[in-house]
Chain A
Amino acid sequence: MPVAGILLVEDDPSVRTALELALTRQGHSVTSYATGEEALDHVRSRRPEIAILDVMLPGIDGVEVCRRIRRLDQLPVILLTARGDDLDVVVGLEAGADDYVVKPVEPRVLDARIRAILRRAESATSDRISFGDLVIDRGALKVSLAGKEIHLTPTELRLLLELVRHPGQVLNRRYLLRVVWDHTHVADSRLVDACVQRVRAKIEPRPAEPVFIHTVRGFGYRFSPP
């Protein structure tokens, strides 16, 4: 597993130091900042592979940092949230975060999440498939809609590829969590829902009336092109 360049934003110095220590020990190279503003100033020049953002930050908060990062590029984001079940998580996932962990987090868990997100989407030999305007190049890992390239985060891309690999088949949230996120926990299905929403926003002509990714109420999602 390659060593990842991690951008860590955490305002509490002790937590920042401790996470830096733990992640470094796991083999990652970590650059940490106390504020979102500082982190955004450096996100371009540093070219990290993944960002870990505390939600509660002085100044602009983690969700907003995530949103601004998303505007620039497809850098994967993990949110560090104080609570697992409040709006922070939902808002953060809607803002484009790939995953979240709840404080206090065990370094092993955080490391597993990081590695799951950075796991490259598998390349396939049979490369290009097209569904109308939607073209998915599984070799080059590129997606385009009506000739225009669409930027998906690694997680979004992996989710889309997983759905495309089983056309017409309903995949439940638990399965998608395991395959795409490496989560064993059925409780995190909000990740799937939020990620599907984001992919729809990018590939569907009208996200409110999806034609590619369909919701099967009570079960999961199905990719069936028109």
Chain B
Amino acid sequence: MIAFLTGLRGRLVITFTVVAVAASALVAGIGFELAKGALIERTTKTAVDDLTKDLERIDFAVGELRPGEVPPSSEELTNLANALAGPDRHTLLEYQDQYYRDDEGLFGGGDVTGELRGQARSKLVSQRRMIDGALWLVLGTQVYRAGTDDVARPTGLLVFEFVSLSEEERTLANLREAFAQAGGITLLIALTVALVSARHVLLPVGRLSAAAQALGRGRLDTRLPVRGKDELAELTAHFNDAAAALELSVSELRALEAMSRRFVADVSHELRTPLTAMTAVADMLAEEAERLPEQPAKAVRLVLSEVGRLRELVEHLIEVSRFDAGTATLALESVDVADAICDSLEVRGWSDDVRVQAPAGVVANLDPRRFDVIVANLVGNALKHGGQPVLITARSTPNGLEVKVRDHGEGIPPEALPHVFDRFFKVGTGRVRSQGSGLGLSIARANAQLHGGTISVRPQQPGTLFTVWLPHA
């Protein structure tokens, strides 16, 4: 609900409705008032005319009596009251402090306000009053009569006529109801129109929003059809231009990146050929070095050890570029973990340097070549940079396979820990140049991740602990 109120749709609908309702209420209000005024005026005029006409026909003497005249009897006055009364009309006469009313007379002197009575002495006045829950038009006037000198004088006979306005009230109530109904219909129409137009406006906005999201998720070929000539069409066109520009620059970047990766891969492969030749004769040279004088023997051994380093670096670069190119695949097999670890150590001649704690019979579904790479890189790292003893443990947990490699060296400085898996990151750059390629741990992690697993590192007292977790496949 709050979202609706603060959303563009809600705001549009509310604004639209408020304007529509205010406009129709204004129109209805003015119309009603005009109609009411006209109706009351007409009723009043009719009542005044009737009363004036009726009073002209008074045939008895009131007020200042001429010679030979007798004061009106109360019967005559009551008859007059009855004559003036009618359906929905009642009369009250006041003459010489006496009240006379028609036979059905509902009203007494108390129903006439002092103000009306005061004004009625000098002219014909009208007043609308609520009496006993109904609206009445009260007319009041004094009867004038021409005296002997033909000058009209007040007779002291006050006539009050109560005209019922219930008919008019009903008419007005009907009118009000009609206006209210019209208002309701207007409100409905306004709401519908508001919703439709909000949808009309918001549909392209929604499409734009979805397209922007898709773009953000990397679908750079997202485009929207441009319809019409309005601001939204312009916005859509701008969106398309922006997406096209983004796609172009991203594809350029990707091409550049792919090119540089390809270059690294190509260079590594090219380096492999001379390395193959050098490796092939390395053993021969090593044996010959035994027979050489000290200085040249040293030189030969230096070349050989650097050839070894170069080999490792090139192998690692090729492995890394394979991950970068996304061509690394998993060939899962069920493997006895203890066997695999022992093989990995044996092939590299590390069996005597590493203590293995792995229960026999732990079988895991993994890529044996990649598992070998993980073990070799972690153990190699521990042997090169850590300190003895190096311990490798493996166990099966409900979540997967857990392999831990622990060394007891001086450890990795805490500030370097988050970066140990970065490429070419070497702890102790300022100190002794280390021997590794700087890619081993990064490769180990990439291999673990290919299995859907992780590698984490934690400092120990003393040394460092690497934990590999591979999920059950």
Answer yes or no: A201 CB below 8 A from chain B CBs.
no
Q: Mark A2-13, 1 if CB is under 8 A from B, else 0.
A: 000000000010
Chain B residues positioned under 8 Å from A72 (CB to CB): none
Is the Cβ of A186 less than 8 Å from the Cβ of B368? Answer: yes
Q: What residue of chain A has the Cβ atom nearest to residue B365's Cβ?
A: A218
- Contact flags A84-128 to B (C-beta < 8 A → 1, else 0): 111000000000000000011111100000000000000000000
A19/B280 contact (C-beta < 8 A), A104-B272, A187-B372 known:
yes
Is A14 engaged at the interface, CB distance under 8 Å to the other chain?
yes
Chain B contact surface mostly: helix
Interface residues of B in 249-305 (CB under 8 A from A): 269, 272-284
Within 8 A of B (CB), among A178-200: 184-187, 189-190
Given contacts A184-B347, A187-B372, contact A14 B273 (CB under 8 A): yes
Determine if B353 is an interface residue (Cβ-Cβ < 8 Å): no
B280 touches which of A104, A186, A187 (Cβ 8 Å): A104
Per-residue contact bits, chain B 313-328, to A (CB 8 Å; 1 contact, 0 not) = 0000010001000010
Q: How far is the CA of A103 from the CA of B270 in the complex (A)?
A: 11
Q: Is A130 an interface residue (CB 8 A)?
A: no
In contact, A186 and B277 (Cβ under 8 angstroms): no
Count chain B residues whose beta carbon lies closer than 8 angstroms to a beta carbon of A: 33
CB pair B347 A14 closer than 8 Å: no
Q: Which of B219-227, B338-346, B453-461 faces chain A?
A: B338-346
Q: Give chain B residues whose Cβ lies under 8 Å from the Cβ of A19.
A: 276-277, 280
Knowing A25-B284, A184-B346, A185-B343 are in contact, say whether A103-B276 is a contact too (CB < 8 A): yes
How far is B339's CA from A19's CA once the two chains are assembled, in angstroms?
32
Report yes or no: B369 in contact with A85, Cβ–Cβ below 8 A: yes
A15 CB within 8 Å of chain B: yes
B333 near A189: Cβ-Cβ < 8 Å: yes
Q: Among B281, B329, B331, B334, which residue has its beta carbon within 8 angstroms of that of A22?
A: B281
The answer on a CB contact under 8 Å between B369 and A105 is no
Chain B residues whose CB sits within 8 angstroms of the CB of A14 once the complex forms? 273-274, 277
Residues of A within 8 A of B329 (CB): 85
Determine the residue in chain A with the shortest Cβ distance to B284.
A25
B269 and A186 contact, CB distance less than 8 A: no
B336 at the interface (CB under 8 A from A): yes
**Is there contact, CB below 8 Å, between A18 and B278?**
yes
Residue of B nearest to A16 (CB): B277
**Docked CA distance A21–B368 (Å):** 34
**A105→B334 contact, CB < 8 A:** no
Evaluate contact between A186 and B311: CB separation under 8 angstroms.
no
A105 contacts B368, CB within 8 Å? Answer: no
The answer on a CB contact under 8 Å between A108 and B335 is no
Of the candidates A86, A104, A189, the one having the most CB atoms from chain B within 10 angstroms of its own CB is A104
Cβ of B280: which chain A residues have Cβ within 8 Å of it?
15, 18-19, 21-22, 104-105, 107
Taking the closest CB of chain A, its distance from the CB of B339, in whole angstroms, is: 6
B346: chain A residues within 8 A (beta carbon) = 184
Interface residue? A83 (CB, 8 A): yes
Question: Do the beta carbons of A104 and B284 come within 8 Å of each other?
Answer: no
CB within 8 Å of A: which of B339-364?
339-340, 343, 346-347
Residues of A within 8 A of B275 (CB): 103-104
Complex Cα distance, B365 from A76, in Å, reads 32
**Is there contact, CB below 8 Å, between B339 and A186?**
yes
In the complex, what residue of chain A is closest to B363 when comparing beta carbons? A218
Give the Cβ gap from A116 to chain B, nearest Cβ, in Å. Answer: 15
Partner among B277, B281, B283 whose Cβ is within 8 Å of the Cβ of A12: B277
Give which listed residue, A18, A184, A218, contacts B334 with CB less than 8 A. Answer: A218
Q: Which residues of B contact A108 (CB under 8 A)?
A: 283
The minimal Cβ–Cβ distance linking B409 to chain A, given in whole angstroms, is 28
Counting CB contacts under 8 A, is A161 at the interface?
Answer: no
Contacts of A131 in B (CB 8 A): none
Asked whether A67 is an interface residue with its Cβ less than 8 Å from the other chain, the reply is no
- The reply to whether A82 and B272 form a contact with Cβ atoms under 8 Å apart is yes
CB of A17 closer than 8 Å to a CB of B: yes
Q: A85-B369, A187-B369 are in contact. Are A174 and B277 (CB under 8 A)?
A: no
Tell me which residues across on chain B come within 8 A of A190, comparing CB atoms: 331
- A187: chain B residues within 8 A (beta carbon): 343, 368-369, 372
Binary contact readout B356-383 vs A (1 if CB under 8 angstroms, 0 otherwise)? 0000000001001100100000000000
On whether A104 and B333 interact (CB within 8 A), knowing A82-B269, A85-B369, A184-B346, the answer reads no
Flag if B283 contacts A84 (CB, 8 Å). Answer: no
What is the CA–CA distance of A15 and B333 in the complex, to the nearest angstrom? 35
Using Cβ atoms and an 8 Å threshold, which residues of chain B touch A173? 333
Residues on B with C-beta less than 8 A from A82 are 269, 272
Q: How far is the CA of A190 from the CA of B329 in the complex (A)?
A: 14
* In the complex, chain A residues whose CB is within 8 Å of the CB of B334: 218-219
Are A105 and B276 in contact (CB-based, < 8 A)? yes
List chain A residues, Cβ under 8 A from B282: 106
Across the interface, A186 reaches (CB within 8 A) one of B272, B279, B318, B372, namely B372
Nearest residue (CB) in B for A23 is B280
- Could you tell me the distance between the alpha carbons of A25 and B276 in the complex, rounded to whole angstroms? 17
User: Is there an interface contact between B272 and A103, defined as CB atoms closer than 8 Å?
Assistant: yes
With both beta carbons as reference points, the residue of chain B lying nearest to A103 in the complex is identified as B276
CB distance from A19 to the nearest CB of B (A): 5
Q: Are B279 and A104 in contact, CB atoms less than 8 angstroms apart?
A: yes
Q: Which B residues are in CB contact (< 8 Å) with A86?
A: 327
Cα A22 to Cα B343 with chains together (Å) = 26
Contacts of A107 in B (CB 8 A): 279-280, 283-284
Nearest chain-B residue to A12 (Cβ)?
B273
Residue of A nearest to B310 (CB): A104
CA distance A103 to B275 in the complex (A): 8
A2–B272 Cα distance when bound, in Å, is: 31
Please report the C-alpha to C-alpha distance between residue A108 and residue B331 in the assembled complex, in whole angstroms.
Answer: 28
A222 to B347, CA, bound (A): 28
List the 10 shortest-distance A-B pairs measured between CB atoms, nearest first: A18-B280, A104-B276, A104-B279, A187-B369, A14-B277, A18-B277, A218-B334, A103-B276, A104-B275, A22-B280
A and B contact pairs by CB, cutoff 8 A, 17 listed: A12-B276, A12-B277, A14-B273, A14-B277, A15-B273, A15-B277, A19-B277, A22-B281, A22-B284, A85-B322, A85-B329, A103-B276, A104-B276, A107-B279, A174-B339, A184-B343, A189-B333
Residues of B within 8 A of A (CB): 269, 272-284, 311, 318, 322, 327, 329, 331, 333-336, 339-340, 343, 346-347, 365, 368-369, 372
